[in-house]
Structure 1
């Protein structure tokens, strides 16, 4: 287990001298309550400059207090410590001197979840007024055990944080995906070079690792004289860089520091979904209200952030008293050589760390890597999502490099274009249409002054009064819009919901992480309703949402996608899920099969186990650009491919789908 230690400067406590008690005379001795409260306030504030004190010899009480408590202050961070008066004893006069005992209750917030509570006793001595008409003064008789129980002269404190091992993120087979992996931090060690040597080391290293030499050298110059200035962190295995650690260390002044970090199997593996681990940002520290301190390692984004408490576990903490031999000089200036340097430190408080708990996902590492490989050369934002219809498990949710770190796969909101015709087909069934029902596929159709047409190159052989299966296979826009009087906007919204395009709240609850599936308004104007029939206007869906639509068609019931598995509910009986029926889904699969055998997804005909597909193109902006889609169903896999800016679903998304499915 790795340990972080926050250590204050050695605090040497001077032995309390035997002080003469002041004899009382004159007026009655007042209660010590106000003096006790002032003592507690001063200790809580860490400032005894204005507190009446009786201190031995040359002890600087303020310095002593700060040095003894500094490790606790550092560990508490921004969280507030408490010092409260628990009890004030009655003044007692003995041998002419009056004193009162004060019990103080202390509380220190240490670590994220722990609180060290203890009590100390302070003695107050009453100083008689100089004349009978004056007021006397209660003074705190200073000794180190006012701060910490049984703290002896010359001792100091040490607070050590016991780091909990962070939990892994597991795949669907319970194998670690994100786990502790060895890394090298490579940089310039300024303690080993200076002047021209420092510049040479910085420039040579920058050139080796691919940084701009002038910028990195400037960064090195700005760092302190003893700084290690990191240039790059690489994995010890499968580093993915074209240089070796040995080559870097051949540069005079360059050092490689061995470490381990929580990492996925590759540098960008599912990062938009899984997130990453690193030092807490200021925003996270501020939002935590003291639970997270600067320098703490936390989840940054994605699942690592959402499940940070579970993954982090509970760090432990140890407070120890270090023997006086650890300091060279006492606060009063006397040497400490006579102290027993062999005396062992004693523990005052300990809470052992509790390791984090793994988060179990449904991801299939092979499919996720395959999806990312397929998308690696796609410049616009893009995504591939694969869902297992039988249980809703999300097996892959990849976002391409054009997404720039955004999870297009699970959070993207786009008009789904003609892939939404799967929803149309369900609503049309419920309105009485069958795959053999004749529908009018014309070149154009006008609704309330707005003209809609088919995609360029639509086959003339599929125009006219054709069976619904033909119009669906070739994705005839006008045939779908022509059914708007039979299929109301509310019917579309219901059919979409029954196929899994649920609201964000339901989607996130099902997935276990924030997610968007889709949104279909239940009301629309005439032209908006017509546009909704071809998956545009205000209809929105994510790649995850359209993969869910395909999965529902494959499963014969509404699928609710799952990414994070709840192990506690693993054996629980799945509740009945309303939505599309098995009979309705069978018709949808028949229509989607026709898209492969005779329609716009014929490139998938040789994919083993192919059941059906649907292409989609949705114009946006001024109409000159389009989002492109494709859905596909194989034996127990439903896949959605999306590219933010492409030509058509068939010739942009289609080859990506074929590449992904080929050989599975």
Structure 2
């Protein structure tokens, strides 16, 4: 390159640089100042922002005072396209607030002035909210809708608002009475902890009403006269979303209570202090659908006015800036039959260990009752329990055996004892000697011959067992159930004694009472039952997330996963053969006591499964039955034999269910 060409390029570079400098009219500095302002306002701290006409500290105090009523909310603020005019500029600030479930958006215009080499923001409270006056601050008001009902079959109201009374000490009514003595006396009357309640009353403010207990109005035994006899005590009438009784389907339905600090934190702004929310069961799973969304207002009002001064002004002195109407929740429709649910709970009320009764309608899959007994201590044993099913699993074994060419009349070998890899297996105590040796599969099933089914382990692989279980609707997911449940687990691989144990429903085979009812129901239906409990799981209000209709939650992180794929559905012919053998359990086997149940013939299968390390071991007691278009499973965790423990409970249920 020649010297002349290099000189020309250098001149061009100098001219271009001079041109760029000449075009820098301060826009870059103004844009930086606008972005800094937006970030500072979003952080609710403009103490470092230089202002024109206002001390930065004073501006910061005014900002914080204006927005204090929205705490802990903070806005997102973004600066828009800047317009420059000599030494002044204007820039839009776009605000976005998350207010409950709603979004409040608005735009204000900020003015900037150049002072030397700095850009100053012209202060105005209108920078914060359009038209905000110097004397105004912001506040919010909300209105919560009533919680929607949980409905049962034929829209029966399972959970609805029922009258209650809050019983407590109203401290302004105490007069000269001793608060501690009054608190202790009231606690004694209503069954509260006297020491804890006395401490609550003493710690509360002079104007407080301190609740000792909330009682259902219906059936309460503590009278208004008894309450009024305690100094400062009173009963305040209210209504709360409640089931028919304190225990009715509690583990399944859950409850409603004031939101905890943890629930509020996890809600992402949907809950605030004082809100009610679902805890456990369907109330928690479908909280957004049932709760609806609060109506909310953001308003500006003159700071420092007394309550009387506000009341004297139109609209209480409030200027509405934003409002979102209240949206009622949507009732949750379930298939539960309140009469059958209550019947199941009444029957289990006398059972000490954890227990469950599940009833469903095979033709539709509708879950009619899912009761967990008092021994379950609030756990949903019916839906979430994970237990070895014992001999009720021989329904699965039998289906797998049919698929190798056997029938109910095929002969099987039923020895008194059997040893597999050094482990001895035997039949239950009292097994009839007349059903030992070479017997029909139907007879081995009716009397529950363990050794006959273990003997089939060479012909039936573990994978075939898993496939047969899934063919009967268990050990799979339940996309139409709409509730947390465990539908069973059958390992696809097992060898030796573990495979032998699987043949009698032990080893690593697990079922819930719900899964057991599904298995029996699939026999009655002649095809796999797809259980349904929640009928409208996606009917959440707009803007509220609804749980998936297919949510099949495990009760713990250790819950086994369902099978990766389901086997071929049980056929009508296969189900008829299984029904034939379940009927034999009643006509010639363990469950003869069910022969007197009125109505359609009952088919059943009993089951006893050992657990724990005691000697002799404790046992789970199971029985499943089909009775017309009804399938029922009864379970007692520490219950001896299925026929003698769970059997009478089943008979009582079937007889009363009609």
When normalised by structure 2's length, the TM-score is: 0.84
Alpha carbons 2:297, 2:324 under 8 Å: kept:
yes
Alpha carbons 1:161, 1:317 under 8 Å: kept:
yes
Question: What is the rounded CA distance, in whole Å, between the counterparts of 2:311 and 2:255 in structure 1?
Answer: 49
Alpha-carbon offset, residue 641 of structure 1: 0.3
Aligned to 1:538: 508
Q: Does 1:207 align with 2:172?
A: no
Alpha carbons 2:49, 2:56 under 8 Å: kept:
no
Number of equivalenced pairs: 602
Aligned to 2:22: none
Question: What is the rounded CA distance, in whole Å, between the counterparts of 1:73 and 1:110 in structure 2?
Answer: 11
Question: Please, which runs of 5 or more residues in structure 1 have no aligned partner?
Answer: 1-27, 93-97, 128-134, 330-335, 570-575
* Shift in alpha-carbon separation, 1:467–1:317, aligned structure 2, 3 A: same
- DSSP 3-state at the match of 2:196: helix
Question: What is the rounded CA distance, in whole Å, between the counterparts of 2:610 and 2:437 in structure 1?
Answer: 24
Q: How does 1:414-563 map to 2 (within 5 A)?
A: 414-503=387-476, 506-507=477-478, 509-563=479-533
Question: What is the rounded CA distance, in whole Å, between the counterparts of 1:225 and 1:554 in structure 2?
Answer: 66
Alpha-carbon offset, residue 314 of structure 1: 2.8
* Shift in alpha-carbon separation, 1:529–1:366, aligned structure 2, 3 A: same
Alpha-carbon offset, residue 328 of structure 1: 5.6
Aligned to 1:115: 103
Alpha carbons 2:626, 2:632 under 8 Å: kept:
yes
Q: How does 1:35-184 map to 2 (within 5 A)?
A: 35-54=33-52, 60-74=58-72, 76=73, 80-91=74-85, 99-112=88-101, 114-125=102-113, 135=116, 138-184=119-165
User: How big is each residue's C-alpha offset from its partner over 1:547-606, in whole Å with a ceiling of 9 and x where there is no partner?
Assistant: 01110111111111111124899xxxxxx9951111111111111112112221122121
Question: What is the rounded CA distance, in whole Å, between the counterparts of 1:351 and 1:516 in structure 2?
Answer: 40
- DSSP 3-state at the match of 1:457: coil
- DSSP 3-state at the match of 2:104: strand
Question: Please, which runs of 5 or more residues in structure 2 have no aligned partner?
Answer: 1-24, 540-565
Aligned to 2:610: 619
Alpha carbons 2:100, 2:269 under 8 Å: kept:
no
Question: What is the rounded CA distance, in whole Å, between the counterparts of 1:152 and 1:491 in structure 2?
Answer: 78
Aligned to 1:219: 200
Alpha-carbon offset, residue 495 of structure 1: 1.4
* Shift in alpha-carbon separation, 1:423–1:484, aligned structure 2, 3 A: same
Question: What is the rounded CA distance, in whole Å, between the counterparts of 1:566 and 1:327 in structure 2?
Answer: 49
Q: Does 1:581 align with 2:575?
A: no
* Shift in alpha-carbon separation, 1:199–1:328, aligned structure 2, 3 A: closer
Alpha carbons 2:468, 2:567 under 8 Å: kept:
no
When normalised by structure 1's length, the TM-score is: 0.84
* Shift in alpha-carbon separation, 1:59–1:152, aligned structure 2, 3 A: farther
Q: Does 1:314 align with 2:293?
A: yes
Q: How does 1:191-340 map to 2 (within 5 A)?
A: 191-193=172-174, 197-238=178-219, 241-322=220-301, 324=302, 327=305
Alpha carbons 2:47, 2:56 under 8 Å: kept:
no
Alpha-carbon offset, residue 642 of structure 1: 0.3
Aligned-residue CA RMSD in angstroms? 3.0
User: How big is each residue's C-alpha offset from its partner over 1:367-386, in whole Å with a ceiling of 9 and x where there is no partner?
Assistant: 11111111112121111000
